[in-house]
Structure 1
Amino acid sequence: MTDAFRDHLSLFASALNLREQRGAMLASNIANAATPGFKARDMDFETVLNAETGGGALATSNGRHFATSGPNAGQAGYRVPVNPSLDGNTVELAVEQMEFAENSLRYQTSLTLLNRRISGLNTAIKGE
C-alpha cells in the first residue's frame, strides 16, 4: 500500500519539477527575445514526464516491432519558428508568453491537485 502511495505522490512531484524546469526554459526564451542568434528551447511535457516515470511509450520485445518513441524522447529541443527573424533569433515573443502562461496555470493546477490529495489523506487518517 505504501509503495502505491509513494508512486502516486512521486508522479505529482515529477510533474511539478518538470513544470518548473519548463517555466525556467520559457522564461529564458522570453529574456533573450532580442538576443541575435538565440535559439528558443522547449520540451514536450507529456513525453518528458512519460520518459521520467516509465509510462507512456510501449516497450518493444521483438526486433520487428515499431518503436513508439524516438531516441531523443524526454529531452528539450529547439522550437521551430513560424516567422524566422533576420538575425537568427527563433524566439517569437507572443508564442513564448502564451506557453509560459499556460505552463504557469498547469503548474498551479498540479499543485492544487496535490494539496487536495494530501488533504483527503489527512481527513481519512484522522477519521473525520
Structure 2
Amino acid sequence: MHFLSKFFLLSDEQTPIGNAPNWQISVLRILLSLGMLLCFAITLHTFGLGLKYNFITVLILPALFFITTSALLSLSARFYHFTAHTLLLAIVFASVCMNFFLINLKLAQVGSMYMFALS
C-alpha cells in the first residue's frame, strides 16, 4: 500500500517531482492507470474474437492504446504537460477509431461522447 501511495503521490509530504504540483501529477497518474486497466481488459476481451474472425484492427487498436497509456504513465512525472496533452490527443484518436470501426451505432456513440467530454 505504501508503494501505491508513493507512486500516485497521495501524500502531501513529498516534494514536487517536476514542474507541476503533486496533485496534478497524481490525478494524471490515476487517470492513466485506469485507462491502462480499461485498455487491458478490452484487449483481453476482444483477443479471442479477433483471432476467431481474423479482425486485425480488433487486435491492434486496443493493444496500441494499452501501450500508449503505459508509456504515458511512465513519462507522467518528468514530462507532465507533454503527457497531459498526448493523453488528450490519444482520447481524440480513440474516439475517431471508435466511430470509424464500430458497426453498432449505439456503441459508436460512445466515441462521440468522449469527444464531447473533451470540448
| TM-score class, shorter | 0.3 to 0.5
Q: Which has the higher helix share?
A: 2
**Normalised by the size of structure 2, how large is the TM-score?**
0.35
Q: Which has the higher contact order (CA 8 A, sep 6+)?
A: 1
Structure label with greater radius of gyration = 1
